[in-house]
Structure 1
């Protein structure tokens, strides 16, 4: 399993070339590939079209794509969320997790779409919540004998995204991206 989050890695070579080569090699070797375009407007000023092109290339290789609602619209140029998700699947994405903040996470695969509710918390600092979410989701997927099963199972998607939403919510209750990361015991206690 390999995860790619592109905030700076796609900006220039040699990083961009290495990044895309590793994605190709992972896909060719049958590894589970996760991709988070992680758009940062201030980094891509004047290069938005290039970001979109590179993101589409990454999406075409990914078993799992994590995007915000804004990134989904930017990358597809499609305001209709369902049509945009259909495009990502047509490009090759296995499962797509669209993070919607307090409105939850929409998880989409070619056969199903589920809206998983957010966990209500008093948010102090949302820094790192998206990274915590994808980290928690990938942690759960990595425990499967066949990680690709996640892309085909609405039951696994419901369970794993609920867990990841919990972790993301917990991060929002503290200050600092790293300091706010909970332990597994803390996540299980929070769920109880």
Structure 2
């Protein structure tokens, strides 16, 4: 089984119980395991590869909850460190009526992952996934993030990157975020961006112009997700819009991470599979994830995907 390392933050998502209300007005929250790299790891595990989460949490009740949840989802936690005198990072999330989200972060433990902690354990992975929302903020995690990318490059490993922009984290420091994203886009085999991220990073005003610029930075495959329209697959030779099934959305949390996990697993497990078919199936995985509340528990297995895929003979499963 192929092994994937997902580096970055694991955190507690506190989801508002009042859909459509902002964080100021909500009356309470539900605790869920979260963090973009952890969500991708869950998708990878459910869909047929071995996921390893790499990051730091607090040595507290929330860190233990995350560890237990990851283990229950068959995510390897050997490189997940619980730090004394640090608090697990939180994200408070309100869901709007259209399923989109508003975030506020209370950050602590995730910033302290050092390269020394993981250096002796990083040679056994087939793909290195960089999808942290917090890694481009100041902290030791940022240094480790860059050192791990250099290791992967120098050892001819596959690299995937998902920007995961959060306005509440970078609204006052967008230039840093943009420049860091470009560093990763140029070195990655697979890049996934939302439409908004593509505009932000490229500085262009149309999807086509943004795609032309971003693919020129050096990545092999660029995927720009377009919500209900599906996703645009971009290579140096073409731009293809790949539509998705219309699915009623309850919560967008984790949908992009599930999409990313589905792309990664198919690329690792089905080397000769057409990239357009890979994206088409990943669209469906992401869409199904939006039909439930929360991230990890909403990500489907291949059996669940098949039930949604009846009649779609063009898609194949591993």
Please say whether Structure 1 and Structure 2 have the same fold, judged by a TM-score greater than 0.5: yes
Relative to its length, the structure with more strand (as a share) is 2
> What is the CA–CA distance in structure 2 between the aligned matches of 1:45 and 1:113, rounded to whole Å?
30
**Pair 1:159-2:277 in alignment:** yes
- Tell me if the contact between 2:136 and 2:176 (Cα under 8 Å) persists in the aligned partners: no
**Pair 1:63-2:189 in alignment:** yes
Deviation for aligned residue 1:43: 0.6
> What is the CA–CA distance in structure 2 between the aligned matches of 1:73 and 1:82, rounded to whole Å?
10
Deviation for aligned residue 1:80: 2.5
Give the TM-score normalised by the residue count of structure 1: 0.91
Relative to its length, the structure with more helix (as a share) is 1
1:25 paired residue number = 151
> What is the CA–CA distance in structure 1 between the aligned matches of 2:291 and 2:132, rounded to whole Å?
26
Deviation for aligned residue 1:182: 1.0
2:141 paired residue number = 15
> What is the CA–CA distance in structure 2 between the aligned matches of 1:21 and 1:144, rounded to whole Å?
29
1:1-192 mapped onto 2 (5 Å cutoff): 1-145=127-271, 156-192=274-310
RMSD (CA atoms)? 1.3
Q: Secondary structure at the match of 1:42?
A: helix
- Which of these two proteins has the greater Rg computed from alpha carbons? 2
How many residue pairs were aligned?
184
Superposed CA deviations along residues 74-106 of structure 1, whole A, max 9, x for unmatched, are 001111222221222221111110000001100
> What is the CA–CA distance in structure 1 between the aligned matches of 2:223 and 2:308, rounded to whole Å?
23
Deviation for aligned residue 1:121: 1.0
Q: Deviation above 4 Å: which 4+ runs of structure 1?
A: none
- Structure 1 runs not aligned, ≥5 long: 150-154
- Tell me if the contact between 1:24 and 1:61 (Cα under 8 Å) persists in the aligned partners: no
> What is the CA–CA distance in structure 2 between the aligned matches of 1:100 and 1:180, rounded to whole Å?
20
> What is the CA–CA distance in structure 2 between the aligned matches of 1:177 and 1:97, rounded to whole Å?
21
- Tell me if the contact between 1:65 and 1:96 (Cα under 8 Å) persists in the aligned partners: yes
Give the TM-score normalised by the residue count of structure 2: 0.56
- Structure 2 runs not aligned, ≥5 long: 1-126, 311-318
Q: Secondary structure at the match of 2:285?
A: helix
> What is the CA–CA distance in structure 1 between the aligned matches of 2:200 and 2:265, rounded to whole Å?
28
> What is the CA–CA distance in structure 2 between the aligned matches of 1:36 and 1:177, rounded to whole Å?
16
Superposed CA deviations along residues 106-148 of structure 1, whole A, max 9, x for unmatched, are 0100012111102111111111111111011111111144xxx
